[in-house]
């Protein structure tokens, strides 16, 4: 399934002032099974971009297409994984994973079996009946991944899913995500502010400019996986991307306080 973002723009109205332009002229096409990261300075609108693709926010102009068809609301072909605190604390791990399946009106038993499959995929078989507060941050995000996969989407949207984790856990989850991605053959659109993470994971990195976020450059990463973070090629690409980001600042004529929704 191809995901096509066409000339997307987003403005947030500010009462009594000019509206804030969060995104401008974003066009991007994701091939099936592709892993694409969106990277940019904070406040560049990368999360806004993901939320629009997910159907949580509307675009001011432009559109999202799946296999050539415009989607203007949430599509079951896509699932989103949030940064943190997204699990339902009153549900066990397994019941969290069945949540999306319950929405599809399948029976209790098939829902449970499907959930167990995905629980196994993220390696948490022994934690089915635990509650989220009994899990570490890394385990919680594994559950969130399993819950998203359980509705069998073709595209995963991930909003800084490892941003709140410590470095070690983060590296481990990155590896696991790649394994899952290879096994399940999903298309992934991944938002992060970590250059290292983006270079380690992605086929391509979309570097955005500061607000209003525009595409500054799309960087191809031809390195084979598993990638070695210490290799010279890795370092070269990382340096290039870092350079793009540090240069992405535009004239600072637009230093207003961001609205909370950004």
Partner 1 sequence: MRRPISTFLLPVLLILGWEVAAHVIANPFVLPSLTTVTPILLHPFSPAYTLGSGSLIDNALASLYRVAIGFLLAALVAIPLGIGMGRSRFMHDLLDSTIELLRPIPPLAWVPLALAWFKIGLVSITFIILIGAFFPILLNTIDGVKSVKKTWVEVAETLGARERDVLLKVVLPGSAPTVWTGLRVGFGIAWMCLVAAEWLPGTTRGLGYLILHAYNFGQTNLIIAGMVVIGVIGILIDQVFRAGEHRWFSWRALER
Residues near partner 1 (CB under 8 A): 54-56, 74, 76, 78-80, 82, 85-86, 88-91, 99-100, 102-104, 131-133, 147-148, 151, 157
C-alpha separations of 226 from 174, 177, 187, 195 in Å: 11, 12, 18, 17
What whole-number distance in Å separates Cα of residue 133 and Cα of residue 36?
A: 32
What is the DSSP pairing of strand 3-12 with strand 61-66? Answer: antiparallel
Of 134 and 217, which CB lies nearer to partner 1 in the complex structure?
A: 134
CA-based torsion, 28, 34, 40, 44: positive or negative: positive
Closest to partner 1 by CB, 89 or 222: 89
CB of 48 to partner 1, least distance (A): 13
Q: How many CB atoms lie within 10 A of CB 17?
A: 8
Taking the complex as a whole, how short is the minimal distance between the CB of residue 111 and partner 1, in angstroms? 12
**Locate tokens 């290799």: which residue?**
231
Q: Looking at beta carbons only, is 21 or 91 nearer to partner 1?
A: 91
Q: Are 202 and 221 in contact (CB under 8 A)?
A: yes
57 vs 203, beta carbon nearer partner 1: 57
Minimum Å gap between C-beta 87 and partner 1 is 8
Distance CA 181, CA 184 (A): 5
Q: Which of 51, 107, 59, 60 is nearest to 81 (CA)?
A: 51
CB 204 within 8 A of CB 218: yes
Query: Closest distance between partner 1 and the C-beta of residue 83, in Å?
Result: 8
Decide: 66 and 2 in contact? Cβ < 8 Å.
Answer: yes
Closest approach of Cβ 45 to partner 1, in Å?
A: 18
User: Looking at beta carbons only, is 99 or 234 nearer to partner 1?
Assistant: 99
- Distance CA(254)–CA(9), nearest Å, equals 17
The smaller minimum CB distance to partner 1, of residues 113 and 247, is found at: 113
Q: Please give the helix or strand (H or E) that residue 227 lies within, else none.
A: none
Residue 88 C-beta: closest distance to partner 1, Å: 6
Q: Which is nearer to partner 1, 105 or 168 (CB)?
A: 105
* Beta carbon of residue 127, minimum distance to partner 1 (angstroms, whole number): 15
């Amino acid at each position: 399934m191809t995901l096509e973002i066409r000339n997307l723009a987003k403005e947030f109205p500010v009462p009594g002032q000019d509206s804030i332009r969060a995104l401008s002229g974003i066009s991007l096409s994701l091939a099936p099974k592709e892993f694409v990261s969106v990277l940019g300075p904070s406040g560049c609108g990368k999360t806004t971009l993901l939320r629009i693709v997910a159907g949580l926010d509307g675009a001011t102009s432009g559109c999202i297409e799946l296999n050539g068809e415009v989607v203007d609301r949430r599509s079951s072909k896509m699932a989103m994984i949030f940064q943190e605190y997204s699990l339902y604390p009153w549900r066990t791990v397994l019941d969290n994973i069945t949540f999306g399946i319950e929405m599809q009106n399948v029976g209790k038993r098939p829902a449970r079996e499907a959930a167990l499959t995905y629980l196994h995929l993220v390696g948490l078989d022994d934690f089915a009946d635990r509650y989220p507060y009994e899990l570490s941050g890394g385990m919680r995000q594994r559950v969130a991944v399993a819950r998203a996969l359980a509705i069998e989407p073709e595209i995963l949207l991930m909003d800084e899913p490892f941003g709140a984790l410590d470095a070690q856990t983060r590296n481990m989850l990155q590896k696991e995500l790649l394994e899952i991605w290879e096994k399940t053959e999903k298309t992934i659109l991944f938002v992060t502010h970590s250059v290292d993470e983006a270079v380690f994971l992605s086929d391509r990195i979309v570097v955005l400019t500061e607000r209003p976020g525009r595409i500054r450059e799309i960087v191809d990463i031809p390195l084979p996986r598993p990638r070695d973070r210490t290799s010279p090629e890795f370092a070269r690409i990382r340096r290039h991307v870092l350079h793009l980001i540090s240069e992405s600042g535009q004239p600072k004529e637009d230093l207003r306080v961001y609205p909370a929704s950004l």
